Structure 1
Amino acid sequence: MPALVTDSSSKKRKSGKNASAPSSKRRAVAEDNFAEKLATIQELENQIAESRKHYNNIATLISMLNVEKSAESPELAVAVSLCRVFGRLLAGGNLTESSRAAENEKIVAAWLKERCIEYQNALLAIMRQADPSSQITALTLSMRLLKERIAHIPGAENNVWSTGFFRDIFTAVVEARGAQDLQSEFITKFVKEFEDVRYYTFAQIGDYASTKRSSEILETLITILQTCDVAPDAEHKFENFYAKRDTKNKRVVSANSHKKQAQEAWLAILRNNLSQSQRKNLLRMMVHNIEPWFNRPELLMDFLTDSYNVGGATSLLALSGLFYLIQEKNLDYPQFYTKLYSLLNADLLHSKHRSKFFRLLNTFLSSTHLPATLVASFIKRLGRLALNAPPSAIVVIVPFMYNFFKSHPTTSFMLHRSIRDKDELAEVEKEGMDDPYDPNESDPHMTDAIESSLWEIETLQSHFHPNVAAIARIISEQFTKQAYSLEDFLDHTYQGMVEAELGVEERNLKKLPVVEYQIPKRIFTDRLLEEDGGVDSGAGCFMRGLWEF
């Protein structure tokens, strides 16, 4: 007899449905448990406030924080309650040991200090290990506790800021895992908002970066310093403080002291284990973000000269900072123009930093006191490079040369050199002429460029791109324009030129452009059409030979 088969699948599906979707009863139970926990926490806190005999509740609350083994899932309600507890104890002076106090009073104060340190370490562990929301909460509670310690413990500000709790907070913020939100909160709500926090943050960065750090840590430190982009001047009034006691600290209310701390912080980073991308990033912000914080900008000389000697894009980025020191601080760099001349190569004209370099080069060579041989070398090197440069770079080079000829008229001999000796002219027409310019000479004073001519520009007048050919002809015309604005040419790109050509339909062309220079009458046949006048044997054979019919 076959066994009785029961339909158990429906029961399983029913029980699975009940397990996956919590009922309203379960939600009510969870809410009741949470409310009960909050009530327990509040009761323990109230008992601590009522009587000293309940101080052991502090140890109970710390154990309820759930951070002994791991701080990944802390009880934030307990953390907030403990912050209130220690805030009241600090305000009441219960953590301060008096020399006149009885021995049992000193024992209680010492025990409370130990519990306070235990609570601080728990907050630091939460900042390092917990989720972003818990990290931010722990940071807020830590800074509030720090504020209470400074406000109610006489003489505590130096220890708390420099070697105590704030140092531990800063280290936790920098080293915490997945701490982008935490670091952003620290920068926005504290470093940028309060001037005393910013001052001591500079000090902590200087100490912390004095030893070798990883690239990730250095990136965080650079981000913190980079956000402080406005240096205080001598007349700046310091008014916004996180801890009110700091208003009496002469160093915190001194613009010179703030700049000194920031200077030491930047120097510690510049001397550290920087990656190539970080070095380039620092060079980009050197003039506007870093140098304003330096009381002694000459301390940047080693970093800038080392970067300038690296070559390539790094040297290009170091130019502006180095020229600032030369111009404003009388830095002596005798080989500056020789090094600048060496940076002019084919790679530069394809670099994304090309426009920035030309802006700086225009500044460097603007002085009318520069020798003509030096300026002529730069003009000639640009002309030679233009022969193989992209069209977007050539349209910058030609107006650049035009401006040089206007500001340095002694170099205008390079535009046209006529040979008056008939015998020499006949020999030149027969065998050609050697260019006296030496492109391999590294010293721009010794290239003999002033003895050469700009035949390269005349070559560019036959360039395949019509815009390049047209702009190259300005050198052959009368110099009636005072100067060209380089900003009108620096941002030309391939994309812009292509878009301009693709917009042919928007222009009124008298004649459509053709692909061939000479339009053939036929392509695939040897025989002309009858209306073209008969037979021309051999015509079209080359093109027809490329095809199989």
Structure 2
Amino acid sequence: MASVPSLNQSEKKKKKNEKNHKLSDLKTLGLQLLSSRAHINNLPLLLTFLSPSKPPQYVLEALLSLQSFFITVLPSLPSSSKPAADVQDDAELIYRTWLRSKFDELVKSLIDVAVSSECDDTLKEIVLDAIMEFVKVGNRGKFHSALYHRFLQSIAHSSTPVNTLIALLVKKYFNHLDVRYFTYISIEKLTRTFEAEYMFGDRSVRIDGDDGDHSRKGVEFIHIVHSIISSIPPLENSNQSDYTMWVESGDNKVLSDNQEAKQLKMRKNDEEVLTASKIVRKMKPKFTKAWISFLRLPLPIDVYKEVLVILDQEVIPYLSNPIILCDFLTKSYDMGGVVSVMALSSLFLLMTKYGLEYPNFYEKLYALLVPSIFMAKHRAKFFQLLDSCLKSPLLPAYLAAAFAKKLSRLSLVVPPSGALIIIALIHNLLRRHPSINCLVHRENVSESKNDDSTSKEVAKGTDASEVEADTPNMKPGIDRFNYEETDPIKSSALRSSLWEIDCLRHHYCPPVSRLVLSLENDLTVRSKTTEIDVKDFVAGSYATILGQELKKKMKRVPLAFYQAIPTSLFSASDFPGWSFNHEHSEKNIDGSDHLPAKRQRVESS
């Protein structure tokens, strides 16, 4: 048996021989290492070439030799690089313990190369494959979770970009069931450790756009963890036989519970064996713990928004108990602005499908109706949800009227695409809630001593027409609707009318005026019409409206032709009741009686 070289001797030879070796010499050293134990001293020398600073050819050649060597000896190596005190005289155990320490050095070098910014993508992919191969065979037939966690920890705490490495993991390994399972376990451990080290004080710093007391390194950690956890494909409810395992436990097929129990009895340490069926049963709790621990972190504003976007489709359906997100979502919904808009989808899902009770939901939704919402990035989804939220037949009349009236007022200040959405929403509200039809046409607006008495009476169940019949008339032209009021019941919407929609008859954008005319026709012939699909209008913009108009074939093209030369910019019919008695002087500024040349040509004709 070859003697084990001391560490001091190896270190002395490293610097001396490192610069003198050529690529062909590395191949020779690798062949010698694989051929005989007598050349075991080549192992430390080859390890010196696994460095980000070395040429890629040298790193690749050393990696191939070391990987081939350790793949064969890993099953016989001890789990720790420190030998027990009572076996110090066992030379073979000391040798294998030394090999174990060299394997740990190899893993560390591979991780350093993988997360380094100096290496190209091709070399990173090869190094990643080597690491995952050791994950497969390094734990005696079981998934080497400790090595994999160490690898993910290095990625999460890397100070260099690791997007390429994460993309390779997603592409090549996240389709395996056990890789997803242990990724969730590692993410939970990483986030809990981070929370214990960095979480101090108020957690409101998560959305204020500033790092606060958290270091830049902590913010980068959150970004990386979010990239990993959001890239793991969810466990769909498909046939379990479709799942693949990176580390096969002897079950090439998913067995039934009885078959699996019989097979586990024949194995030793069966509690440590993870089959596909076991992982499927345990995946949802691990998924839940990983996401909940991640959402507890002080998320930066950009990550916070990205999480809210995917929460309703990619997270909530796969949680063990989605109601545990109620605090996170209600806080998000209470923040206002774009964060509330993005949280609405997930909160609505919890309310309609999982029985969440949120008493102030419609008040908060009413407060979100501001002009800026019609230009927000996620407005399409918001208005579809708004239409769904206002669909319930149990919605009080004062609440339906408040939403209809506020949307009507907003139609005067929003772009044409927003006006189209508003007309569609009001059309659906009028069809669903006949109790607010009094808003359609009202020549004289009524008032009472208490402005919000009507709303309160309707809230108690009194019909809107009965309340209005008991109130005295007042001068026309005064709208009792309070646009600035945040509480719908105090807005006096039932004391107003939808006069703003009537103004849209003369809108400068033809699609808006046409839709208003169709709204009037639909309300008179209800039996032959249906609700408008808001989805057809939510993605509108100036560009889409212009594109639709350009595609239309014009039967009559308007021309800039006048039978008589116009003498004024506006006609007298545009200003009924106004008179203009100003006499135009025919003199120029210099006092002369000569008319301008253009005026002379007009009069001479």
Deviating more after overlay: 270-279 vs 57-66: 57-66
Q: 1:221 corresponds to which residue?
A: 225
TM-score by length of 2: 0.72
Give the direction of change, closer, same or farther, for the CA distance of 1:83–1:297 in structure 2 (3 Å limit).
Answer: same
Contact 1:151 1:244 in 2 (8 A): no
Q: 1:9-20 maps to which residues of 2 (within 5 A)?
A: none
SS across alignment from 1:75: helix
Q: Structure 2 residue aligned with 1:172, among 149, 154, 157?
A: 154
Contact kept? 2:50, 2:113, Cα under 8 Å: no
Query: What is the alpha-carbon distance in structure 2 between the residues aligned to residue 242 and residue 542 of structure 1?
Result: 95
Deviations 1:130-163 (A, max 9, x none): 41333222221111122221236xxx64xx30xx
The answer to whether the aligner puts 1:449 opposite 2:496 as a matched pair is no
TM-superposed CA distance for 1:385, in Å, is 1.0
2:74 aligns with: 90
The amino acid across from 1:467 in the alignment is: P
- For 1:100-499, list aligned pairs within 5 A: 103-129=90-116, 130-132=118-120, 133-151=122-140, 157=143, 160-161=144-145, 164-176=146-158, 177-192=160-175, 194-210=176-192, 211=194, 212=198, 214-233=218-237, 236-237=240-241, 239-245=243-249, 248-249=273-274, 253-417=278-442, 431-477=475-521, 478-480=524-526, 481-499=529-547
Closer/same/farther in 2, CA of residues 114 and 415 from structure 1, 3 Å limit: same
Q: Per-residue deviation at 1:361?
A: 0.7
Q: Secondary structure at the match of 1:388?
A: coil
Q: Which amino acid aligns with 1:509?
A: R
Using the TM superposition, give the Cα deviation of residue 294 of structure 1 relative to its aligned residue in structure 2, in angstroms. Answer: 0.8
Out of 394-403 and 223-232, give the one that drifted further.
223-232
Percent identity (aligned): 26
Q: Contact 1:392–1:494 (CA<8 Å) still a contact in 2?
A: yes
Per the TM alignment, residue 463 of structure 1 is displaced from its structure 2 partner at its CA by 2.2
Report deviation, 1:313: 1.2
Is the contact between residue 417 and residue 453 of structure 1 (CA under 8 Å) also seen in structure 2? yes
Structure 1 length-normalised TM: 0.78
1:214 is paired with a residue whose SS is helix
The secondary structure found in structure 1 opposite 2:532 is: coil
Distance 1:349 1:204 in 2: 41
Write the letter of the residue equivalent to 2:134: L
Are the aligned partners of 2:88 and 2:94 in contact in 1 as well (CA < 8 Å)? Answer: no
Partner SS, residue 347 of structure 1: helix
Match of 1:507 among 536, 554, 558: 554
**What is aligned with 1:79?**
63
Q: After alignment, is 237-246 or 362-371 more displaced?
A: 237-246
Cα deviation digits, residues 335-385 of structure 1 (max 9, x gap)? 000000011112222323332221001110111111111111100110111
2-structure distance, mates of 1:317, 1:86: 51
CA separation of 1:144 and 1:374: change in aligned 2, threshold 3 A: same
Hey, what's the Cα distance between the residues in 2 that align with 1:485 and 1:392?
15
Which residue number corresponds to residue 37 of structure 2?
52
Deviating above 4 A after TM superposition, structure 1's stretches of 4 or more consecutive aligned residues are 36-39, 70-74, 94-102, 418-421, 428-431, 500-504, 537-545
Kept in 2, the 8 Å contact 1:376–1:449? The answer is: yes
Give the gaps of 5 or more residues in structure 2: 1-20, 199-216, 252-272, 447-471, 570-581, 598-605
Q: Please state how far the C-alpha of 1:57 moved relative to its aligned partner.
A: 2.2
Report if the CA contact (8 A) 1:373-1:449 is conserved. Answer: yes
Does the 8 Å contact 1:461/1:473 carry over to 2? Answer: yes
Task: Assess if the C-alpha contact under 8 Å between 1:234 and 1:255 holds in 2.
Answer: no
Q: CA deviation at 1:65?
A: 3.6
2:504, 2:513 within 8 Å by CA — same for their partners in 1? yes
- The alignment partner of 1:40 has SS state of helix
Alpha-carbon distance in structure 1 between the residues aligned to 2:549 and 2:323:
50
* In 2: Cα distance, 1:243 partner to 1:113 partner: 21
Length, aligned pairs only: 482
Q: Is the 8 A contact 1:167 1:204 kept in 2?
A: yes
Which is bigger in relative contact order (C-alpha 8 A, separation at least 6)? 2
CA apart distance, 1:289:
1.1
Q: How far is 1:522 from its partner?
A: 5.2
Which secondary structure does the structure 1 equivalent of 2:355 belong to?
Answer: coil
Segment of structure 1 superposing worse, 295-304 or 412-421 = 412-421
- 1:407 Cα deviation from its structure 2 partner: 1.1
Superposed CA deviations along residues 159-199 of structure 1, whole A, max 9, x for unmatched, are x30xx32122112333442332222112211122x111111
How much has 1:250 moved relative to structure 2? 5.6
Whether the 8 Å contact between 2:50 and 2:110 is mirrored in structure 1 is: no
Q: Deviations over 1:73-95 (max 9, x none)?
A: 6622011100101112225x255
492-501 vs 249-258, greater mean Cα deviation = 249-258
RMSD, matched Cα? 3.5
Gap runs ≥5 in structure 1: 1-35, 422-427, 525-536
Q: Deviations over 1:365-414 (max 9, x none)?
A: 11111111111110011011111121111112112211111111111111
Note if contact 1:438-1:449 (Cα within 8 Å) is conserved in structure 2: yes
Residue 283 of structure 1: how far off its partner (Å):
0.9
Q: Offset at 1:46?
A: 3.7
Deviations 1:200-259 (A, max 9, x none): 111111111221563333233222222323324386347411112386326873334212
Q: From the superposition, tell whether residues 384 and 83 of structure 1 become closer, same or farther in structure 2 (CA, over 3 Å).
A: same
Q: AA paired with 2:64?
A: V
Aligned residue in 2 for 1:41: 26
1:20 match: none
